[in-house]
């Protein structure tokens, strides 16, 4: 039946099959005869090496190929490794190039790897390895070596022809792959039997292990002394059936036993399936307790089941060691997981480099900073990957701060220099470096903790600018006050006996008063910023009419508007006059005072500042609009930040410190409101903020 199926599938005649099995083959030129002769030879092969040699050498002739190789997965299942490679005489000239294909990644997109994973026949032309192209290889075909539905390996052919392989070639290749898989399985079975026989012989000759022999009916024929030692036998068990012994265990043994395996499963495996049952464990409750490993083997004679051999081994120490190892492994795994969690999730960039400053590892933060993955930078110079340099443009090797670690073997607590990030921007970083030493105190690696301190540098710069501005603003009124007081003290303003000198005195005192007010406002702003940043601002929120606080601000700044000839007014209807909201009256008064005062300062004579307010859903909105000089677009995103003094900007023309709008925004947000600005240079500005109508 098998013969007919074979002939039908591959369209061969019965005469061709017979010819292939003739010992006096005369013509092996046709593919079919070569194939049949290969099958005949494979049937006689007694080793896998012989199987591989026959398959590859015959296939070179059958397919007219230049190189034939058989690949199997390696132990890690990550690569396909060539177990055997044959090549034609022409291809032998490039044997060095051919050897380069001995290993291929299992998970690659190369057709050979995909043939194994998908269990399909695949071909290749453009995807031929470069090493094979050098010896003239132009195409390839790959057949999976199958056993039932499992892929054992790949049978590969490489040719110097560009034409694709024929359908007949594919059928023949599939047959060779199937036959090879079956023959390998048979070889494994023979090896398994050999191993079992050798194991049984070793057990029989070992005095340290318990040995017993059972007949086909379960009667115990033999048991050595180690059996009595393990189980504490109190009487002979020879001649007893196994079931009788187990049922009356306490009658024949001093120690109780707990079996950690299924006896019925063992009997089925050995007695019915005729297969070994290995690794069964028993706890013998002696003092101290013992762990016994039980292995059972079928005894086969003339193809029939003749009994069972049992081997018992004391594995107490091994189990204890396994438990200790498992405990230690869990502890190490836990420590490793903890370290990996810290390493991967820490906000700082962490990088490991060797003695030559080459990167060996880095975390995801470091990858994001460099813009490259770990695989891209492994083995590359740390200084070159991050383009480390000083503020005055000094680069590696002229700039090498880590070299001192190799010289002193001491850590570097902290240093600051510049990195170039993934966006090609220079960024200030703070770097701490510590050596990792071996048992002989030699440095093997250096761990770097890299912090982005660019924002810190910007804050330092902003604070420095602020100190400069604040110092100037404090010094100016103090200089004025000091000058007028000096005039008063020295009598340069007269004795005030007449009305003219008294008028002059009033003007001087008025100027001193105004400068004192400037100082008071400046100090007040600084204190407000401090309270906001330290979250010490307390809100006393109640329900108020917006009309009240708006009218108070307009009244307060009405004279200022009059002096500047700016029209300051409020637009509202009777309905809006009754609008209420929950807020701290003093804080919102300060918000409005700042916004209206700013509008007055930057609105030219003849202009106007208009306040409006309205209600939408659960919020009320207040807007301060002017037709003054306006704010440039590029400055609108920073005017609410503190310490901002941009030369030539909108803020520079205001003689303040750049804190007013920061305070305004902070107070609005404390009320769970929102502040935004619209402005266009030459047309004016509009500041709008919202407040909740109900207490939130």
CATH number of domain containing 409:
3.30.450.20
CB 595 within 8 A of CB 624: yes
Residue at a domain's end among 415, 450, 485: 450
Which phi and psi (to 5°) does residue 308 adopt?
Answer: -140, 135
Query: For residue 202, is it within any domain?
Result: no
- Same domain? 47 vs 67: yes
Average pLDDT over residues 506-529: 73
Q: Does 126 or 636 have the greater pLDDT score?
A: 636
HSE-CB for 193 with a 13 A CA cutoff:
9
pLDDT (0 to 100) of residue 372: 85
Question: How far apart, in Å, are the Cα atoms of 184 and each of 162, 190, 210, 539, 547?
Answer: 32, 10, 35, 85, 96
- Rounded-to-integer distance, Cα 694 and Cα 49, Å: 88
DSSP codes, 78-98: SEEEEEEEEE-HHHHTTHHHH
Asked, for residue 199, whether it belongs to a domain, the answer is no
350 has pLDDT over 50? yes
Residue 237 in any domain: the answer is: yes
Confidence of residue 26 (pLDDT cuts 50, 70, 90): very low
Q: Is residue 2 part of a domain?
A: no
291-299: Cβ within 8 A, 24+ apart? 291/315, 291/316, 291/319, 292/210, 292/230, 294/261, 295/203, 296/266, 296/269, 296/270, 297/196, 297/199, 297/200, 297/270, 298/270, 298/271, 298/274, 299/213
State the average pLDDT over residues 243-261.
90
Average the pLDDT over each of 10-24, 239-253, 344-358, 657-671 and give the range with the smallest value: 10-24
Whether the per-residue pLDDT at 606 is higher than 60: the answer is yes
| Span 279-303, average pLDDT | 91
User: Which of 292, 319, 346 represents a domain boundary (last residue)?
Assistant: 319
Mean pLDDT of 293-306: 91
pLDDT band at 657 (very low <50, low <70, confident <90, very high): low
Which position has the higher pLDDT, 561 or 656? 561
**238 with 355, same domain?**
no
State whether 31 and 136 are in the same domain. Answer: yes
Is the peptide bond preceding residue 61 cis, with omega within 30 degrees of 0?
A: no
pLDDT in tens, 623-635: 999 999 998 888 8
Asked which of 55-69, 486-500, 506-520 is least confident by mean pLDDT, the reply is 486-500
**Most confident listed range (313-327, 487-501, 673-687):** 673-687
pLDDT, the chain, mean: 82
The three-state secondary structure class of 612 is strand
pLDDT for residue 4: 39
- Among 289-298, 511-520, 530-539, 588-597, the range scoring the smallest mean pLDDT is 511-520
Domain span at 554: 538-692
The residue from 450, 479, 504 where one domain ends is: 450
pLDDT mean over 489-510: 71
Q: How far is CA 671 from CA 154, 539, 584, in A?
A: 72, 8, 8
With contact defined as beta carbons under 8 Å apart, do 663 and 669 qualify? no
pLDDT at 230 exceeding the cut of 50: yes
On whether both 37 and 111 belong to a single domain, the answer is: yes
Identify whether 404 is part of a domain. yes
Claim to verify: residue 255 and residue 394 sit in the same structural domain? no
Looking up residue 596, the CATH number of its domain turns out to be 3.30.565.10
Indicate if the pLDDT at residue 207 is higher than 80: no
Judgement on whether residues 431 and 557 belong to the same structural domain of the protein: no
Per-residue pLDDT, 2: 38
Domain check: are 45 and 154 in the same one? yes
Per-residue pLDDT band for 656 (boundaries 50, 70, 90) equals low
Q: Answer yes or no: is 326 within a domain.
A: no
| % pLDDT > 70, the chain | 86
The answer to the question of residue 10 being in a domain is no
Find the CATH number of the domain harbouring 520.
Answer: 1.10.287.130
Same domain, 310 and 420: no
Which has more pLDDT, 582 or 573?
582
* Same domain? 583 vs 679: yes
Residues 394 and 285 occupy one common structural domain: no
Judge if 307 and 435 occupy the same domain: no
Instruction: Please tell me whether residues 146 and 168 are part of one structural domain.
Output: yes
Q: Is the pLDDT of residue 276 over 90?
A: yes
**Residue 623 maps to a domain:** yes
What total of structural domains would you count in the chain? 5
């Amino acid at each position: 039946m098998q013969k007919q199926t074979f002939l039908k599938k591959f369209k061969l005649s019965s005469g061709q099959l017979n010819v292939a099995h003739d010992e006096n083959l005369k013509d092996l030129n046709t593919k079919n005869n070569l194939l049949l002769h290969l099958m005949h030879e494979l049937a006689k092969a007694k080793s896998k090496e012989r199987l591989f040699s026959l398959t590859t050498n015959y296939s070179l002739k059958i397919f007219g190929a230049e190189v034939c190789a058989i690949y199997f997965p390696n132990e890690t299942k990550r690569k396909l490794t060539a177990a055997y490679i044959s090549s034609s005489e022409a291809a032998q000239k490039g044997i060095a190039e051919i050897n380069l294909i001995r290993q291929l990644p299992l998970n690659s997109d190369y057709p050979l790897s995909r043939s194994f994973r998908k269990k399909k026949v695949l071909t290749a032309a453009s995807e031929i390895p470069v090493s094979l192209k050098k010896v003239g290889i132009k195409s390839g075909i790959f057949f999976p070596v199958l056993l039932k539905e499992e892929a054992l390996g790949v049978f590969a052919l490489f040719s110097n022809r560009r034409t694709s392989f024929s359908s007949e070639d594919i059928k023949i290749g599939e047959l060779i792959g199937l036959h090879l898989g079956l023959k390998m399985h048979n070889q494994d079975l023979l090896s398994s039997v050999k191993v079992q026989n050798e194991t049984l012989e070793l057990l029989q000759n070992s005095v340290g292990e318990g040995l017993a022999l059972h007949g086909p009916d379960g009667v115990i024929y033999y048991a050595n002394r180690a059996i009595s030692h393990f189980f504490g036998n109190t009487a002979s068990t020879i001649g007893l059936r196994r079931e009788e012994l187990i049922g009356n265990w306490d009658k024949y043994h001093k120690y109780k036993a707990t079996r950690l395996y299924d006896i019925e499963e063992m009997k089925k495996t050995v007695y019915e399936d005729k297969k070994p049952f290995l690794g069964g464990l028993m706890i013998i409750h002696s003092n101290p307790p013992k762990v016994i490993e039980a292995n059972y083997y079928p005894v086969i004679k003339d193809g029939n089941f003749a009994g069972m051999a049992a081997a018992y081994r004391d594995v107490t120490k091994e189990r204890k060691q396994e438990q200790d190892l498992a405990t230690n492994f869990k502890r190490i795994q836990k420590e490793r997981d903890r370290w990996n969690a810290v390493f991967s999730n820490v906000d700082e960039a962490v990088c490991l480099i060797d003695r030559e400053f080459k990167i060996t590892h880095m975390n995801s933060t470091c990858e994001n900073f460099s813009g490259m993955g770990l695989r891209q930078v492994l083995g590359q110079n740390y200084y070159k990957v991050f383009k480390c340099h000083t503020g005055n443009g000094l680069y590696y090797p002229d700039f090498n701060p880590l070299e001192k670690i190799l010289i002193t073997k001491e850590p570097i607590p902290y240093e600051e220099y510049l990195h170039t990030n993934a966006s090609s921007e220079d960024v200030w970083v703070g770097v701490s470096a510590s050596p990792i030493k071996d048992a002989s105190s030699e440095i093997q690696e250096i761990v770097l903790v890299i912090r982005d301190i660019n924002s810190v540098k910007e804050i330092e710069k902003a604070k420095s600018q602020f100190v400069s501005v604040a110092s100037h603003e404090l010094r100016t009124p103090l200089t004025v006050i000091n000058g007028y007081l000096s005039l008063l003290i020295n009598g340069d303003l007269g004795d005030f006996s007449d009305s003219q000198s008294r008028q002059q005195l009033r003007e001087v005192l008025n100027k001193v008063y105004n400068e004192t007010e400037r100082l008071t406002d400046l100090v007040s702003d600084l204190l407000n910023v401090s309270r906001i940043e330290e979250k010490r601002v307390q809100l006393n929120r109640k329900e108020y009419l917006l009309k009240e606080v708006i009218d108070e601000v307009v009244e307060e700044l009405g004279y200022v508007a009059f002096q500047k000839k700016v029209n300051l007014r409020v637009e509202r209807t009777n309905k809006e006059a009754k609008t209420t909201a929950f807020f701290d009256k003093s804080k919102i008064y300060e918000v409005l005072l700042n916004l209206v005062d700013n509008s007055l300062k930057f609105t030219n004579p003849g202009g106007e500042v208009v306040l409006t307010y309205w209600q939408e859903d659960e919020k009320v909105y207040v807007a301060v609009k002017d037709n003054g000089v306006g704010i440039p677009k590029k400055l609108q995103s920073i005017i609410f930040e503190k310490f901002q003094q941009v030369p030539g900007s909108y803020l520079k023309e205001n003689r303040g410190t750049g804190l007013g709008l920061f305070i305004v925004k902070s107070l609005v947000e404390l009320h769970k409101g929102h502040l935004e600005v619209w402005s266009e240079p030459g047309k004016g500005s509009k500041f709008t903020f919202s407040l909740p109508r109900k207490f939130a």
